[in-house]
Amino acid sequence: MAKLSEYSAKRRFEATPEPPPVAVEGGSGPLLFVVQQHLARALHYDFRLQCDGVLKSWAVPKGPSLDPAEKRLAVFVEDHPYDYASFEGVIPPGQYGSGEVIVWDCGVYSPDEGGTAFHDRAEAERRVREGIDAGKLSIQLRGEKLKGSFALVRTKDPKTWLLIKHKDRFVTTADVTAQDRSVLSGFTVRDLKVAPVHRMPATRLAPHGELTVMPEKLQPMLAEIGDAPLQSPDWLWEPKLDGYRALAFVDSNGVRIRSRRGLELAATFPRLAAELREQAHSGLILDGELVAFDGNGKPSFNALQNRFQLKGEREIAAADRASPTLFYAFDLLHFEGIDLRRTPYRDRRRYLAQCLLPSPLIHLVHAADDGAALQDAALASGFEGVVGKHKDSVYEAGRRSPSWLKIKPTHSAEFVIGGYTRGKGGRGKLGALLVGYWDKGKLRHASHVGSGFDERALKQVLARLEPLHVDVCPFAETPVVNGPVTWVKPELVAEINYQQWTEDGSLRAPTFVRLRDDIEARTVKRVDPLAVAQSAKRRSNVEARRPASGADDILAALDNPKNAFDLAVGDQRIRLTHLDRVYWPAVEALQQPALSKRDLLRYLTHVAPLMLPHLADRPLTMIRMPDGIGGQRFFQKHWKQERPDFVETVNVYSAHKDEDHEYLLCNNLPTLLWLAQSGTLEFHVWHSRARPGPDAISTSTDYDSSLEAMEASVLNYPDYVVFDIDPYIYSGKEAKGAEPELNTVAFEKGKQVAFWLRELLLGMSLQPIVKTSGKTGLHVFVPIRRTLDFDAARHVSELVSRHLMRQHPKDITMDWSVPKRTGKIFMDHNMNVRGKTLNVAYSPRGEPGAPVSMPLTWDELADAHPLDFRIPDVVKRLSRTGDRWSDALERKQDLASALAGGPA
């Protein structure tokens, strides 16, 4: 197209991973800016502004400056495609601009002369066009490194411009280019010589989407109590601030600061409200914490409570000057018309860092990957602990979610006060609080709390309790008390520290911390920190479904010499029969003895922790050989016989027969072993899962009502693009018309093609993984987020395969005629069709020698042969190497943008 003709003319897209010349028309929401650091012949920076579907671009040799005295040369260059904004990678030698590129900074921008227009794209683009035509463009940048107002000014030479920082609170003489890492990958340009790059779509760089009306009210998402910071790359950690939770709403009507209970606080903090007003024009919602500090500069909840007692304007103004209250922002829920609540936290956090304009009273909360180290630092600085957030979590307004965890050195929770006892001596009026929690509409007693009070706290609590006196005990069961008790309406909430819950449901060593006016009493429920921590650890295992405990017991039971018995698998029982039936005869050349059904059950018990995650939630097709590989074998999709209760199923619509069919799901160890008992030797699965998740564009689980429903469901979105490498190089011993037998020449040629394919995919910034088929071929997968349907995945596989075939026409074919495949490697892109299956990782094959479909690293593939991986050897091998392949499979990429640099 004309806008990108100069860009296109300079590049050969079959040789460079840069995206092709495609303009993006339409769209709404704020405009994107990006600065890419480019190590070509010399290090320089490319400054790009989205406008009219492309990126207007300037080369800035020295990079941007935040010092108005530094007028940086900016050379106007050709427009770049919008998808170029997220390009990180290596432009190969011999190509235009060869060298390494990172995204040094990115965010949103708007013309700002006469006011910003982040919310009005059409108006913003009109002003950008006029500014470029006039040779003077003033813009506000909201990035992680570049913030505030800048000017682009053209000199007498039409290609020569100057990039100049305007004077505002973001001015500094410090060299901003000393921050030399990518805001996306964290790499420097020099790291890219060896580091793998994972591309994301340009649309994820900054807030984007359809414009929506900003909600007037919103309840904050809440964290559950955790036991300790999880050591997982899927979590990000923040210091837990000792303050009041608040949501800040900013729009054309003004500023609202709402407490967790919905109380309006803006009038109490006028300076803060004034600074929040500068954050946005037509809409912004920040989630954060109001924090006050004591005389030693440490967070003080008491200081904050004192501030809430002030009512007069003169008192409030004096407090604003003497001890201002700060707002620490930790989430961005809405920005200039874009609702971000369904956006994963990892992206919301990046958008917050971009869009927030820090000021004296408004700050961005620090975040780190190492929760344990941050917890140590937080406690040393006077904070309460840390809060962990799962990077894929959406914002669950009003819900206490296990996707967020709060960790303190001692457990802490909120409890409802239902009464108090009399004390002795100076504590005559209040001895201990009787506290509890709501459970199914009833107030359950949790503990007496008598410690933690100083004189001031005693007076405060008594003053709040006296108006709440009632004659009737509010607890479902009257607590045992040692003296007179005063019952109160269960309306007041106290925060209590404690060591743990006892077996009888009481708190051990409870201590009063403070009253919590920001929490509704009716929302208080019991939280068990240990149970929450265990649940979070299970989730952090990358959705893997681990088998039931007791594998050692199962293996010991299989040593029973009886040919039939009942096997206990956790709480389930499976009737085993014909355990000594030979499934794989001995192979003398391999020095391998015969393997029986008992050996298959042992093998599956060993590999279940690795195999089940690849089976879970995928419609299963079984290849059954009840009499072993020498007997009858049949292909079974649907199980019509009686089955145990522990076997899960899913109904799937069949367009071929215009009816729905029931598929088995192998979601647990009992099912896996029951299938083996039933003669299933091979386990073949769909490439998609009947389970929504944060990586899936669809949340529909209607798989069987109609073809349209099926196509809209999550089952129509695969987890990976498949490349099936199938050698048609014959050993010469095959019967007439038979498929090629396994032979070394064929497998070596298949490996060569797999390495060619890997090189091509790496050049597209994709990270492929590989496994043997267990027979003659190889399966190469590119993990993706579930945003492409099967038709798109098939199209991708076809494009890439055809490009590779054009590079190696003597070695690769995609011809459907079997005779024309002979002597070549057949690449079957049609495996990327809904309902097509491949044998799952670690599945045995019904072939001599009991080979296994074995996941490999690429280094391992170089010296591999399929018969290296047989049932007797795999368990020994895994005990040495672990399961690196499964980890790689879960590191998903967003393929749609990454493929933009691939073959067309």
Q: Give the strand order in the sheet containing 222-225.
A: 222-225, 400-407, 385-390, 235-240
What secondary structure letter does DSSP report for 214?
P
Place of tokens 């913030």: 147
Whether 21 and 81 have beta carbons less than 8 Å apart is answered as yes
Instruction: Classify the C-alpha dihedral 262-264-268-269 as positive or negative.
Output: positive
What secondary structure letter does DSSP report for 428?
S
How many whole angstroms separate alpha carbon 591 and alpha carbon 271?
82
Closest C-alpha to 507, from 484, 531, 535, 527: 527
Kindly state the tokens that stand for 21.
């010349």
Dihedral angle over CA of 23, 27, 32, 37, nearest 10: -30
What secondary structure letter does DSSP report for 33?
E
Secondary structure of residue 862 in the 3-state scheme: helix
The amino acid at residue 862 is A
Helix (H) or strand (E) holding 806: helix 790-807
Q: Around Cβ 558, how many Cβ atoms within 10 Å?
A: 17
Place of tokens 């006077």: 382
Whether 693 and 643 have beta carbons less than 8 Å apart is answered as no
What secondary structure letter does DSSP report for 241?
P
Q: Specify which residues 43 forms β-bridges with.
A: 39
Tell me how many degrees the CA angle 566-567-568 measures, rounded to the nearest 5.
Answer: 120
Whether 98 and 16 have beta carbons less than 8 Å apart is answered as no
Place of tokens 């690795």: 610
Which residues touch 591 (CB under 8 Å, ≥6 apart)?
A: none
- Candidates 145, 147, 240, 771; catalytic one: 240
Catalytic, 240? Answer yes
First-to-final CA distance of the chain: 15
Q: Specify which residues 249 forms β-bridges with.
A: 256, 285
**Residue 387 to residues 115, 153, 367, 513, Cα–Cα distance (Å):** 37, 45, 9, 19
Secondary structure of residue 503 in the 3-state scheme: coil
How many whole angstroms separate alpha carbon 721 and alpha carbon 783?
7
What secondary structure letter does DSSP report for 595?
E
Max CA separation in the chain (angstroms) = 103
What secondary structure letter does DSSP report for 53?
T
How many whole angstroms separate alpha carbon 64 and alpha carbon 434?
61
Whether 235 and 190 have beta carbons less than 8 Å apart is answered as no
Whether 208 and 385 have beta carbons less than 8 Å apart is answered as no
- Which residues are catalytic, by number? 240
